[in-house]
Amino acid sequence: MAIKFGTDGWRGIIADDFTVANVCACAQGLATYLKDNGLANKSQVIGYDTRFASEHFASVTAEVLAANGIKVFLSSGAVPTPVTSFGVASTGSGGAVVITASHNPPEYNGFKVKTGSGASAPPEMTTDLERRIVEALSLGNIKRVPIDRAMKESTVEMVDLMPPYLEQVSRLVDVNKLRQRNLNVAVDSMYGAGAGYLRKLLSGGRVRLTEIHAERNPIFPGMRQPEPISHNLTELAKLVPGKRFAVGLATDGDADRVGVMDENGQFLTQLQVFALLCYYLLEIRGERGALVKTTTTTSMIFRLADLYGVKAFETPVGFKYVAPVMMSNNALVGGEESGGYGFRGHIPERDGILAALYFLDFMARTGKTPSQLLELLYSKVGPHYYDRIDLTFEAEKRQRIVANLKQANPARVLGKDVVRVDRSDGLRLFLSDNSWLFMRLSGTEPVLRIYAESPSEAETADLLKEGRRIAEA
């Protein structure tokens, strides 16, 4: 089988293609890459999430890197991906591996590679890695040393990555001041690696925090996958208004994404949250810098950029495309439709925990509820309603969907002129009233994602239906 890196790492089904043998091949491919590029003299950090056997896959990854003479800092427990990414800086390492499938269903696990900045490996690196992994599998030249021996020889060292990370985010948000706010907060950790982090950061003051799904459970009961979107957060949606919480916050399986539920139990879309965070940084904190968005993220970002006199950049889907633009432009914030947002002064990577803290700080500084914050945003940029549907398909239908998207060339959609067509990643249609419709295939699953944004909820729903019709024609 071919091991391919998608929008963020390689993911596979546990015991089917995500096996010890294939993970060892990934680690050997990475080790060879580091040695051939003169990077093996610096250590690598290895972190992992709460999925089935993640700690074992992390351990065998450490065994392979150690056998190749590469120093490893192995996390002593399950940690969020942004904690591992920050661990690159806190340990002075040259990169990292994270064993996680992030938001994917429970049968998946994954292998993410981070660079010396803590960012996701760029496409040119992952293409090179794919070739080296194939070579490792075909040649059988995988080196491996038992973890106990590697630890005895100090080639592998266990580290607690949490403390330096907590210090870092506490520098970015005045946590001591935030703790003294009278906030009643509900947190859904979705059985993932982010469990306990917001509690540790906010305990000891006036904030009252209730956490659900904080224990490890690799089958993620009650949800299709640990992705912080509305249909996976039904318990949080009932809890927030029922117990009169000011806000509900959710982090995905590896806590690099955040979801927000308003005080009425209504889910704020990821596009609304991203625009709100941009507004918070620009207006409330008075910061200035470029805004970076992926193609599936809200056009409100362009409007905010115009209002505050800053630049806005758009990239393909995947934070591996966002991070380089953020770094080269010293951007204030970067975000994508999935609910992943990265911030200047931190790591060029998504961080659901820091995003949650920023959102709470926004509420605390303004004294407004989430729904009131959204009203404030819309008073500046106008109403924008977004939604997305995911269509699972059989493998043999993929080529037909690809062909349909390539051939489709509508002049009008729902009575509105199509003013621009973008085929760089699927099919994206821009309409004359600034609405848009986007259809693209997932990089990690057999799923067609259809996205739409318009000035009304009804029109957005109609756009999604039209997208499905085009794709399935």
CATH number corresponding to 385-471: 3.30.310.50
Structure confidence at residue 199 (pLDDT): 97
Residue 445 has pLDDT above 80, yes or no: no
Fold for 10-161, please state it: Alpha-D-Glucose-1,6-Bisphosphate; Chain A, domain 3 (3.40.120)
Residue 192: both structure tokens together = 């993932």
The H-or-E segment that residue 167 falls in is helix 162-172
Question: Are the folds of 10-161 and 173-381 the same?
Answer: yes
Is 395 a residue whose pLDDT tops 90? no
User: Residue range 416-427: average pLDDT?
Assistant: 92
Task: For the chain, report the end-to-end CA distance as a whole number of angstroms.
Answer: 31
- Provide the CA 288 distance to its chain's centre, in angstroms: 24
Domain boundaries, the chain: 10-161, 173-381, 385-471
**Pairing between β-strand 95-99 and β-strand 44-48 as defined by DSSP bridges:** parallel
**Sheet containing 184-188: order of strands:** 208-212, 184-188, 247-251, 258-261, 267-268
Query: DSSP per residue over 292-341, as a string?
Result: EEETTS-THHHHHHHHHT--EEEE-SSHHHHHHHHHHHT-SEEE-TTS-E
Q: What is the DSSP letter of 438?
A: E
CA–CA separation, 225 vs 208, rounded Å? 28
Mean pLDDT of 381-392: 91
Average pLDDT, stretch 256-283? 97
> How would residue 394 be classed by pLDDT, with cut points 50, 70 and 90?
confident
Environment class of 246 (CB within 10 Å of its CB; exposed 0-12, middle 13-18, buried 19+): buried
pTM over 0.85? The answer is: yes
What confidence score (pLDDT) does residue 444 get? 63
Mean pLDDT of the chain: 95
Residues 6+ away with beta carbon under 8 Å from 421:
409, 427, 428, 429, 430
Which CATH number is 173-381 given?
A: 3.40.120.10
In this prediction, residue 472 carries a pLDDT of 86
- Quick one: pLDDT at residue 430? 94
pLDDT in tens, 424-444: 888 999 999 889 999 998 866
pLDDT digits (tens, 9 = 90+) for 396-406: 888 899 899 99
- The strand pair at 333-335 and 10-13 is best described as unpaired
Identity at 7, one-letter amino acid code: T
Check: CB of residue 197 under 8 Å from CB of residue 188: no
User: Does the pLDDT value for residue 1 go beyond 70?
Assistant: no
- Give CA–CA dist 373/99, Å, rounded: 36
For 147: left if phi > 0, alpha if psi spans -120 to 50, otherwise beta; the answer is alpha
| DSSP, res 411 | S
Q: Which residues pair with 249 in a beta bridge?
A: 187, 260
